[in-house]
Amino acid sequence: MTADAKRPTERPAASGMGANVKSLRPRRTYDSLVSAIEGLVADARSGLAAAINAIMLRTYWRTGEYIVEYEQHGADRAAYGEGLLNRLSRDLSLRLGRGFSHSNLVYMRKLYLVSQKSQTSDFFADGPAPGFLGWSHWLEILRADDPLEIAFYCRECERSKWSVRELRRQMQSMLFHRIALSRDKEGVLALAGKGDAPRRPSDILRDPYVLEFAGLPVAERLREGRLHAALVGHLRDFLLELGRGFSFVASQYRIPLNTGHPCKVDLVFYNYLLKCFVLIDLKRGMVRHQDIGQMNLYLNYFKAEVGSPDDAEPVGIVLGANKDDLVVQYATQGISNHLFVSKYQLYLPDERQLRGKLSALLAKNTERKAK
């Protein structure tokens, strides 16, 4: 925004009645009165919602603590055994009303147990830390059992402000496992401890990219134009899949070079965390070596003609239904640009298979260090 651009009406600070009344004096208009009251009420509602959320989470956490303590030390705990939560749900519902179903009590208990794990203990300083995560977020996160996975989704959801629907989708697409499989054991631990914070171009890569949101049939042989149209039509979902820091720049970006045929980059994004352009070219089948050479051309053009001196070097991703790792290795050898080849799939990944791969990776790294 330039200095001459019209700025939106500033909302008065809610630090006190005197501050709000004082902010009206220079204008003395009815519109400023309405704006001031609107801002005051909006801030109050936001603060009230955050306070209610924090109190509710702390109450549920303490409920879980009471349950665990009773299971461990209750004088008559043997009389209830495995039926404790069913009995407790029935009695609490009679006395307190809704909110204490058997499944809710199970998750309250798990919320407390999760707080005792070292991977997530920083979220629980004498209860859940006040923040963005609501109980509905926790109900999704607590479906996971791996402390590393739980820690990752806590941090990413808090940082990226995912809605419950977006969080559910990321977990169904096995985001943690897909990122973790590209790292060693230390990288997986850092992923759980700090979230997905890209520091170098390879950190933004997914393999595969899961595009189930596009609603395209798996069995049908797709045309690249149809895949491109589906991604543009579901741009918000695609940005969610790409990861943190992405903003959309252009579709079918034309490269004005005399190559004998039109040169267009399918999708252009900018990643503000890496401060670079990210070019994506879509391929309906196997990625060929010519496709990699074409992306290298695009990257060289962007470096010379599009990027500013403050930008980092652009990143290119050739995204195809299949790839031959040996062809990719030889085709990218000697290329200094940040050029990657990845696969996409139109369906959610197999959960058991990805969990098995990650367990094998962690075990392999542990054995390697032991030697």
- pLDDT recorded at residue 369: 57
For residue 342, the model assigns a pLDDT of 94
Tokens 């050739």 sit at which residue?
A: 318
Q: What is the mean pLDDT of residues 129-139?
A: 85
Q: What is the pLDDT of residues 300-318, one digit of tens each?
A: 999 999 999 999 999 999 9
Q: Please, where are the H alpha helices in the chain?
A: 17-24, 30-73, 84-96, 102-115, 135-141, 147-160, 164-172, 175-180, 185-194, 224-233, 235-242, 289-301, 325-332, 351-370
Checking DSSP bridges between strand 338-345 and strand 209-210, what pairing results, if any? Answer: parallel
pLDDT value, residue 14:
43
Amino acid letter, residue 168 = R
- DSSP lists the bridge partners of residue 318 as 281, 341
Of residues 368 and 96, more confidently modeled = 96
pTM recorded for the entire structure:
0.73
pLDDT category at 10 given cuts 50, 70, 90 is very low
Average pLDDT value for the chain: 84
What pLDDT does residue 2 have?
42
Q: Where are the domains of the chain?
A: 209-348
State the pLDDT at residue 54: 87
Asked if pLDDT for residue 170 goes beyond 90, the answer is yes
Per-residue pLDDT tens for 263-279?
999 999 999 999 999 99
Q: Choose among 332, 180, 170, 202: nearest CA to 278.
A: 202
Look at residues 102, 103, 123, 112 and name the one whose alpha carbon lies nearest to residue 72: 112
Cα–Cα separations (whole angstroms), residue 74 to 65, 70, 79, 86, 252: 13, 4, 10, 17, 66
Strand arrangement of the beta sheet that strand 209-210 belongs to: 209-210, 338-345, 315-322, 276-286, 264-271, 246-254
Q: What number of residues does the chain have?
A: 371
**Residue-level pLDDT at 126:** 62
Q: Specify the CATH number for 209-348; select among 3.40.1350.10, 3.30.565.10, 3.60.15.10, 3.30.230.70.
A: 3.40.1350.10
